[in-house]
Amino acid sequence: MIFSTDSAFKIETKDVSYLEGGIHEDVSLVGVRQERSANGNLFLEFAFDKNGAQLTHTEYEPTKRADQSTEELEAKANNQVRRILQILQVWYTKEQLSSFSAESFDQFGKWVKGMLDATDKSKKVRLKVVYGNTGYTSLPKYAKYTFIESMEIPASESKVKDLKIDVFVRPEMGDVEQTTKSAAATFGATSNSPF
């Protein structure tokens, strides 16, 4: 084995710049995609960019947990639709977005993607970016507070505010201690075992 600095310098670096937590101005929506994850889960992904720093926000198709009622699932879906409508309302009026309904997340996603693909991507937005429990950035999970708006709204009239529930500083992500079984527990040793 040879340890060569010349060979190592031939490796091209591919640094990724991301939007950190906070309220950002002059951000562009660069795209929307609808696909299935490797696990087969349908999702919508919204991509934003500010001077090369990027944010992707993913909304997965809501699924019902065993301990969840139908009403709770419907509330979850309504919150998701409201978050997505908040993004759409940067480019469309409430009247333009009203009266649409879909029988599936797939149909809804195709409509959202079609609407956003048809928008003027040069229009800039003010965007709130928060950290989640895993330490990655995303749009907020709530639907009742404004997290995106057009830059045409003066900063003095902005509804995008720093709320106490927003996490703008990346949480410390320490190593998770893995528990292991002792040899005696693993092999079912008896009380007279040398372990």
> Three-state secondary structure along 107-137?
HHHHHHHHHHHCCCCCCEEEEEEEECCCCCE
Q: Delimit the domains of the chain by residue range.
A: 17-187
List, for residues 131-149, the tens digit of each pLDDT value: 998 889 999 999 999 999 9
How far, CA to CA in Å, does 67 sit from each of 42, 73, 123, 141?
22, 10, 43, 21
Residues 6+ apart with CB under 8 A from 94: none
pLDDT in tens, 34-43: 999 999 999 9
pLDDT of residue 88: 97
DSSP state of 192: T
Measured CA to CA, the distance from residue 59 to residue 169 in angstroms comes to 22
- pLDDT exceeds 60 at position 171: yes
Ordered DSSP codes for 148-171 = EEETTS-GGG------TT---SPP
Q: What is the mean pLDDT of residues 60-89?
A: 94
Contact criterion met (CB below 8 Å) for 56 and 43: no
Report how far residue 25's alpha carbon sits from residue 158's, in angstroms, rounded to the nearest whole number.
Answer: 11
**For 14-18, 20-24, 85-89, 133-137, which range has the lowest pLDDT when averaged over its residues?**
14-18
Average pLDDT over residues 161-184: 76
Q: What is the DSSP string of 35-100?
A: EE-TTS-EEEEEEEEETTEEEEEEEEPP---TT--HHHHHHHHHHHHHHHHHHHTTTS-HHHHTT-
Is a pLDDT exceeding 70 seen at residue 4?
yes
Measured in degrees and rounded to the nearest 5, phi and psi for residue 23 equal: -105, 120
* The model's pTM: 0.80
Distance CA 144, CA 107 (A): 24
